[in-house]
């Protein structure tokens, strides 16, 4: 069954997921923990709609491709077409705010980076993007003051804040739209704070936008 956007009131959205635009190294502390240089402009890559699964349901991960890492991110649901948009246009086009996990085949990614190849094999595989239901944008008073937290088996593994983003959300959406059109139903993942690491079958996860949205899920 194709992935369907939802809101926290259990109502299905009429927006159809097209693509998931991801931003690499948008937190300096995360870039440093992987020994990556801090980029001078956003690093962009795309996951297809087939990558999305409902975060609220248990999800599976590949068992035969090396280490699978979690990257917890604030997700922005786009509600209007954006092309070469201003930050004001970007703000008006936000239909929802939620959570995403950018699941990454870290061993595969490391090999691809060494060869100078694109990351899609490591980032865009089926099921590589659990997405939560969304809350309305007016529920978030400040997009640049949102806590992002992940707990694995009762241990806090990521605990950051959107204030630490190198590229703020609205500027990021505007920047993306200068290069390719964002369409209703698309999702932007805004980057992950430090603390990424491996997950395995049986792990219990709690994913949060602190005081705004909380999802308990598991790896099966």
User: What tens digit of pLDDT does each residue of 136-155 get?
Assistant: 999 999 999 999 999 999 99
27 has pLDDT over 70: yes
Strand-pair partners of 73: 100
C-alpha distances (whole Å) from 80 to each of 18, 95, 181, 217 are 13, 8, 10, 30
Q: How far apart are CA 140 and CA 134, in angstroms?
A: 11
pTM: 0.96
Average pLDDT score over the chain = 95
Query: Residue range 182-204: average pLDDT?
Result: 97
Specify whether the CB–CB gap between 196 and 33 falls below 8 A: yes
DSSP 3-state assignment of 31? helix
The residue with greater pLDDT, 24 or 208, is 208
Catalogue all structural domains in the chain, each as residue range(s) with its CATH number. 19-146+159-198 (3.90.850.10)
Quick: pLDDT tens for 90-120: 999 999 999 999 999 999 999 999 999 999 9
Query: Which residue, among 60, 53, 48, 46, has the nearest Cα to 2 in the 3D structure?
Result: 53
Query: Residue range 146-165: average pLDDT?
Result: 97
């Amino acid at each position: 069954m194709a992935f369907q956007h939802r809101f926290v009131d259990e109502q299905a959205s009429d927006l159809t997921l097209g693509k998931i635009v991801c931003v690499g190294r948008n937190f300096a502390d995360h870039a440093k923990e992987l020994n990556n240089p801090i980029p001078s402009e956003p690093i962009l890559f795309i996951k297809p709609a087939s990558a999305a699964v409902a975060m609220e349901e248990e999800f599976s991960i590949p068992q035969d491709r090396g280490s699978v890492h979690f990257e917890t991110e604030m997700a922005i649901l786009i509600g209007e077409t954006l092309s070469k948009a201003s930050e004001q246009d970007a703000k008006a086009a936000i239909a929802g705010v939620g959570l995403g996990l950018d699941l990454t085949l870290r061993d595969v990614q490391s090999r691809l980076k060494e060869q100078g190849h694109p990351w899609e094999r490591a980032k865009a595989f089926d099921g590589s993007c659990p997405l939560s239901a969304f809350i309305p944008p007016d529920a978030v008073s400040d997009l640049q003051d949102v806590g992002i937290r992940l707990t694995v088996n009762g241990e806090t593994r990521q605990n950051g804040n959107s204030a630490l983003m190198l590229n703020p959300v609205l500027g990021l959406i505007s920047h993306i739209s200068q290069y390719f059109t964002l369409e209703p139903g698309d999702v932007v993942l805004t980057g992950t704070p430090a603390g990424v690491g491996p997950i395995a079958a049986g792990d219990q996860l709690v994913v949060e936008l602190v005081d705004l949205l909380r999802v308990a899920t598991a790896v099966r």
